[in-house]
Amino acid sequence: MKLLVTGGAGYVGSVCAAVLLDRGHEVVVVDNLSTGNRDAVPAQATFIEADIKDVAASVLDGGEFDGVLHFAAQSLVGESVIAPAQYWSGNVVTTIALLDAIRASNTPRLVFSSTAATYGEPDRTPITESMPTAPTNPYGATKLAIDHAITSYADAYGLAATSLRYFNVAGAYRGFGENRVVETHLIPLVLQTALGQREKISVFGTDWPTPDGTAVRDYIHVLDLAEAHILALESAQPSTHRILNLGSGTGFSVREVIDACARVTGLPIAVEDAPRRAGDPAVLIASSERAMAELGWSPVNTDLDVIVRDAWTYLQNLGDRSHAAKSTV
């Protein structure tokens, strides 16, 4: 297939682009490099440096693409609270422009990078797709709005679409992994602390109703995530918009993640206990039963040490390309 990957210079987008190329697909990446890294774009991909909303129509017109994987987004929860206009424009307005270009070019398939943040603070786990959506920040709200827009485009214009709601993505694939200017994810933060790029890791809340008192989250390996995107493309049906959760179905606490990082690295990790953060649920675990049933997908790399090891190997190999290392200079 010939596929357009938006945001293909970012973490998940670059891994998915690399896996698609490894499977023999033709890949065109569009990324404005506002948060992505040029060296994260696979060498075999055609790269266009631009904002997708400005070039979607020209790129897709006459290109005979078989599908679009849409990763490009503003994705920092805290930033979305203080700069909501940036998120409504960068996420929703941009995606509507892309959807219009998909419609005009008769591109048949779309896979959208959605998020578990659409559920807000659910009162029970595992989280299923039938549970209420109640995002607690503009980031989650914009992703939910896009899900609604995709449903209407599928109904009216015959688009074959899938929204994949990720939980905590981690790990790496070959030379592709997580290298953000602003890092908010636990595993890379802990590993950066082990490397001395951060002074310590803060544990927000040690009195949660969990076995060790720290919050529990569902971690999915980025390679398993990429596999789900390929299966979603292959099984897409016209006039149908599927919304599927992607997680491992297993929860690991903050303490367990820190312990795994210490085991894998063999290095000491400075830890500071801190108060709970407002809005943090005690436990977030996905039910991926619908994805398993509809895609024939199941996560393979579910061992926490494997996820951490792959992320650690990638981080060590970054060298002077690491944004975290540069910030300590």
Q: 30 has which bridge partners? A: 6, 48
19 and 3 in contact (C-beta within 8 Å)?
no
307 and 178 in contact (C-beta within 8 Å)?
no
CA distance 198 to 133: 35
Give counts: helices (H), strands (E), the chain: 12, 13
**Which amino acid is residue 144, in one-letter code?**
L
**Which amino acid is residue 114, in one-letter code?**
S
62 and 106 in contact (C-beta within 8 Å)?
no
Residues 6+ apart with CB under 8 A from 172: 15, 178, 222, 310, 311, 313, 314
311 and 171 in contact (C-beta within 8 Å)?
yes
139 noted as active-site residue? yes
Task: Name residue, tokens 């997580």.
Answer: 178
Task: Name residue, tokens 């997708």.
Answer: 52
Structure tokens at 325: 């290392």
CB atoms within 10 A of CB 275: 10
Peptide bond between residue 188 and the one before it cis (omega within 30 degrees of 0): no
Strands 216-221, 251-253: pairing is antiparallel
With residue 280 as reference, give the H or E element that holds it.
Answer: none
Which listed residue (119, 139, 173, 314) is catalytic? 139
188 and 139 in contact (C-beta within 8 Å)?
no
- Annotated catalytic residues are 139
